[in-house]
Amino acid sequence: MISVLIDFTYLLASVLFIFGIKGLTHPRTAVRGNLLGATGMLLAVVATLADRQVFGSGPQGLGLIVAGVLLGATIGATLALKIQMTAMPQMVALLNAFGGGASALIAGAVLADTADPGTQTVVATVVSGIIGSVTFWGSLVAFDKLQGLMLPDNPVHFPAQQALNVTLAVATVGLGAWIVADPSQLTSYGLLVVVGSVLGVLLTIPIGGADMPVAIALLNSYSGLAAASTGFVLNNNILIITGSLVGASGLILTQIMCKAMNRSLMNVLLGAIGPDSGPVQGADEVYAGRVKSTSPEEVAMLFDGARRVVIVPGYGMAVAQAQHQVRDLANLLESKGTEVEFAIHPVAGRMPGHMNVLLAEANVDYDKLRAMDDINPSFQQTDVTLIIGANDIVNPVARTDPSSPIAGMPILDVDKSRTVVVVKRSLSPGFAGIPNPLFAADNTVMLFADGKKAVLDLITAIKDG
């Protein structure tokens, strides 16, 4: 009877998770959606505590459970409350890692605990072990790169990299087959996790900065698939349902990100783009004598006569932590009767939706945050487009040069606006390593400065003007 009640509660929790994600389809319902999800989780945990195995595990078991939950809750709450909005990609990378890690550990625990596991359990255990350890270490590498700790942000390549990866992948499958043949060999599961871990590191190392949105989304999907696979280990519906929801979510985001860069997933995973791919076209040829540097005062004059201004934020805005100043600038312009909107490229920043979160943090009305396809047709009616710390996503070469590394990538059509103001520290290339003819275009002026300082100077200049 109890077990039926528990299963029923799990079903209820699954439904709440689905409604929770549904809530995220609109900003107005998002808070409620998240609370529904949390309620579902609480129900699922309470139901599990009522399970005979858990409830009857005695003081030692219950003590460990309380200790584990307290420890995890403290770490989780500290992370969630302390993390800067600019560091959200790192936070998600960590959560991806922990999700994958938990699945691999649980699968190991079940394998160690079950005397004669059936084929489904063992196969699912192997799958959880592989995906879980790849996700855990891959996400930690992504975290390290995003945080700028030990590993370079750039793609890391070494000889025979692909051959090594293939060998390791084959090794995990071989080890998996061995475990299926003889599930009593716990050492082989440990070995499987070790090989999976190395594979996770090696698969993520070649992925560089601007490709991180793809890596993060894909690892997100993996962590879901690991959870689903753990559901097959435990014969548990709610793990399977939740895991497949998360897996689907990550895959869809991965697909959106790849499309936004006009690259195949394989191409991103192999780290095929980057400063060391192909010859860098002569920057001198593109820029020589044609780049016009400007001052905040001149830009203030441009703004003065503008009816419509579009602001294009990029990763540089996040690095400079300039979102609050950008908001002030937008408000100031609006107070003078100018229409201001923000154009958000899907891969601007280091994770899907990165720019939206930063601008929402700065209290920018979400109706003003316009997606690429939505805002592109309006650039022709835009007087001034202000680009802050973005480069490749506004490079018109993507439309014109089929041999360019970013050929065919959908871009923000900023060059169609009357005047383009680019705030950038130097003419250095973006992640794709190519010069940007936009900077040399007739209707473009460059404001060379750090993002935050430039925007502050602009605000002062407009107020004085």
Partner 1 sequence: MDTFLPLLTIFMLAVFVGVEIITKVPPLLHTPLMSGSNAISGITIIGALLSVAAGGTLPTILGFLALVLATINVVGGFLVTHRMVAMFKKKDEDPS
Residues 6+ away with beta carbon under 8 Å from 55:
49
341-380 residues in contact with partner 1 (CB under 8 A) are: 344, 346, 351-354, 356-357, 360-361, 363, 365-367, 369, 371
Measured CA to CA, the distance from residue 72 to residue 45 in angstroms comes to 14
Nearer to partner 1, 250 or 316 (CB): 250
**Whether 442 is catalytic:** no
Q: Which listed residue (7, 34, 267, 319) binds partner 1 by CB under 8 A?
A: 34
Stretch that binds partner 1, among 96-104, 156-164, 272-280, 404-412 (CB under 8 A): 96-104
Quote the least distance from Cβ 435 to partner 1, whole Å.
28
AA letter at 212: M
Task: Please say whether the beta carbons of 258 and 268 come within 8 A.
Answer: yes
* For partner 1, the closer CB: 355 or 422: 355
Three-class SS of 338-378: CEEEEEECCCCCCCCCHHHHHHHHCCCCHHHEEEHHHHHHH
The strand pairing partners of 369, in sequence order, are 342
119 binds partner 1 (CB under 8 A): yes
Of the candidate spans 116-124, 168-176, 279-287, 394-402, the one that interacts with partner 1 by CB under 8 A turns out to be 116-124
What is the closest distance, in whole angstroms, from the C-beta atom of residue 169 to partner 1 in the complex?
23
Residue of 86, 90, 92, 436 that binds partner 1 (CB under 8 A): 92
User: Phi and psi of 419, rounded to 5°?
Assistant: -130, 140
Interface region with partner 1, contact rule CB under 8 A, candidates 46-54, 163-171, 172-180, 381-389? 46-54
Number of residues that bind partner 1 (CB under 8 A): 115
Does the protein bind partner 1 through residue 120 (CB under 8 A)?
A: yes
Is the CB of 114 or the CB of 294 nearer to partner 1? 114
Judged by CB under 8 A, the chain residues 150 through 189 that form the site for partner 1 are: 186
Rounded to the nearest 10 degrees, the angle between the axes of helix 88-113 and helix 212-234 is 20
Q: Does 122 bind partner 1 (CB under 8 A)?
A: no
Chain-centroid distance of CA 442 in Å reads: 35
Answer yes or no: are the C-beta atoms of 445 and 423 closer than 8 Å: no
Among 86, 90, 99, 392, binds partner 1 (CB under 8 A): 99
User: What per-residue string of b and e applies to 205-231 under the rule 16 or more CB within 10 Å gives b?
Assistant: bbbbbbbbbbbbbbbbbbbbbbbbbbb
Residue nearer to partner 1 on the CB measure, 82 or 463: 82
Residues 421-450 that bind partner 1 (CB under 8 A): none
Q: Does 50 bind partner 1 (CB under 8 A)?
A: no
- Least distance (Å) between residue 198 CB and partner 1: 20
Instruction: Work out whether 203 is an interface residue with partner 1 (CB under 8 A).
Output: no
Supply the minimum distance, in Å, between the C-beta of residue 11 and partner 1.
Answer: 11
CB count in 10 Å sphere of residue 295 = 15
Q: How far apart are CA 358 and CA 88, in angstroms?
A: 9
Q: Report how many helices (DSSP H) and strands (DSSP E) the chain contains, helices first.
A: 19, 6
Contact region with partner 1 (CB under 8 A), list: 89-97, 144-152, 177-185, 264-272: 89-97
Out of 144, 211, 392, 457, the active site residue is: 392
CB atoms within 10 A of CB 4: 8
Of residues 298 and 365, the one with the C-beta less far from partner 1: 365
Calculate the alpha carbon distances from 6 to 1, 3, 10, 239 in Å: 9, 5, 6, 14
40 CB burial (10 A radius; 0-12, 13-18, 19+): buried
- Which of the ranges 26-34, 204-212, 394-402, 440-448 carries the binding residues for partner 1, by CB under 8 A? 26-34
| Residue 2 touching partner 1 (CB under 8 A) | no
Judged by CB under 8 A, which of 90, 106, 203, 338 binds partner 1? 106
Kindly list the strands in the beta sheet with 369-371, ordered across the sheet, starting from the edge strand earlier in the chain: 369-371, 339-344, 308-313, 384-388, 419-424, 444-448
Residue closer to partner 1, measured from CB, 129 or 274: 129
Nearest CA among 153, 217, 450, 210 for reference residue 348: 210
Among 81, 150, 160, 163, binds partner 1 (CB under 8 A): 81
- C-alpha to C-alpha distance for 354 and 347, rounded to whole angstroms: 8
Cβ of 370: how many Cβ atoms within 10 Å? 16
CB 208 within 8 A of CB 276: no
Q: How far apart are CA 299 and CA 296, in angstroms?
A: 5
Q: Judged by CB under 8 A, does residue 17 bind partner 1?
A: yes
| 69 near partner 1, rule: CB under 8 A | yes
User: Applying CB under 8 A, does 102 fall inside the site for partner 1?
Assistant: yes
Q: Rounded to the nearest whole angstrom, what is the least distance from the CB of residue 236 to partner 1 in the complex?
A: 7
Least gap, CB of 332 to partner 1 (angstroms):
15
Please report, as residue ranges, which positions from 207 to 246 form the binding site for partner 1 (by CB under 8 A).
216-217, 220, 223-224, 227-228, 230-246
User: Which of these segments, 91-99, 163-171, 322-330, 386-394, binds partner 1 (CB under 8 A)?
Assistant: 91-99
CB of 17 vs partner 1, minimal distance in Å = 5
Is residue 252 at the binding interface for partner 1, with CB under 8 A as the rule? yes
* Cα distances (angstroms) measured from residue 308 to each of 105, 327, 455: 55, 16, 18
Q: Which residues are catalytic?
A: 392
